[in-house]
């Protein structure tokens, strides 16, 4: 039930969901002839969508998460590389093979770190929720991609049952204890890294952040407040910005909920 509610309830807080709730209230207010309430909820829904799709807001929110754990240079070595799921689509028809999502940099970065000699083992952690996408575990999909990139199958360990970040940490810890692994490089999207790293360290693991999938670069930060053209465009609604704001809100809500549950 917690898993289902954790996927459902935040949707009502993100800009699109909250604006939709307000518009439902608007319809009810019009039906009940409460014109002031209808006007107020309509204006509120518009402002939420406009602010939530603003480039400046999206950039700053994403940056506040992504730049917390910048990758060390040079990247240190470890005993294993742990890659978290949430980055593939199952090979369901008509897909000819496993697809990577926007977060597909996770598995690619993990394989590249292995090939660069940063660790002798790759651990892929991630299952699939039966009622949300379904299909084979993501750990299996990621392993297929890594093998295609030249990683020996013997050096890959799959953890196929985790359905959230907390379970990633608990299940990976069991693998580390079984395999005698001490230090790990933790690979996930930069936005997801603050929550992931905190959970893994809370479990007592010696984890080094190896983030990837950065959405906010130094160039993007400069562009938002650079030229007049960029400033003007940043004020206009954009669906990509709305998605970025929702992603950032998801992580901040996750940090709050996980802390309340004692997982951080």
pTM exceeding the 0.75 threshold for the entire prediction: yes
Please check the confidence at residue 202 and state whether its pLDDT lies above 60: yes
pLDDT at 13: 85
Please check the confidence at residue 186 and state whether its pLDDT lies above 70: yes
Q: Give every CB contact of residue 174 below 8 A, 6+ residues apart in sequence.
A: none
pLDDT digit string, tens, across residues 132-163: 667 889 999 999 999 999 999 999 999 999 99
234 falls in which pLDDT band (50, 70, 90)? Answer: confident
Contact 72, 177 (CB under 8 A): no
4 falls in which pLDDT band (50, 70, 90)? Answer: low
How far, CA to CA in Å, does 151 sit from each of 75, 115, 129, 174, 212?
Answer: 19, 7, 27, 23, 19
3 falls in which pLDDT band (50, 70, 90)? Answer: low
pLDDT at 5: 60
Please check the confidence at residue 223 and state whether its pLDDT lies above 70: yes
Higher pLDDT, 76 or 235: 76
Contact 86, 103 (CB under 8 A): yes
Contact 140, 88 (CB under 8 A): no
């Amino acid at each position: 039930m917690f898993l289902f509610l954790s996927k459902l309830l935040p949707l009502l807080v993100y800009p699109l969901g909250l604006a939709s709730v307000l518009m439902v209230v608007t319809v009810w207010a019009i039906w009940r002839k409460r014109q002031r309430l209808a006007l107020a909820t309509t204006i509120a829904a518009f402002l939420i969508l406009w602010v939530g799709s603003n480039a400046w807001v999206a950039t700053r929110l994403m940056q506040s998460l992504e730049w917390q754990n910048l990758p060390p240079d040079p990247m240190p070595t470890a005993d294993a590389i742990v890659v978290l799921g949430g980055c593939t689509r199952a090979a369901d028809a008509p897909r000819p093979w496993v697809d990577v999502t926007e977060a597909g940099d996770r598995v690619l970065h993990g394989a590249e770190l292995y090939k660069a000699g940063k660790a002798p083992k790759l651990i892929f952690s991630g299952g699939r929720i039966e009622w949300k996408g379904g299909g084979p575990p993501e750990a299996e999909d990621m392993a297929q991609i890594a093998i295609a990139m030249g990683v020996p199958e013997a050096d890959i360990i799959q953890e196929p049952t985790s359905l959230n970040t907390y379970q990633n940490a608990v299940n990976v810890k069991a693998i580390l204890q079984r395999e005698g692994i001490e230090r790990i490089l933790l690979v996930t999207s930069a936005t997801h890294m603050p929550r992931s790293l905190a959970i893994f360290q809370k479990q007592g693991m010696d984890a080094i952040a190896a983030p990837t999938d950065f959405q906010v670069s130094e160039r993007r930060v400069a562009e938002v407040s650079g030229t007049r053209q960029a400033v003007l465009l940043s004020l206009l609604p954009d669906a990509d910005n709305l998605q970025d704001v929702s992603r950032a809100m998801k992580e901040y809500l996750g940090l709050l909920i996980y802390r309340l549950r004692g997982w951080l």
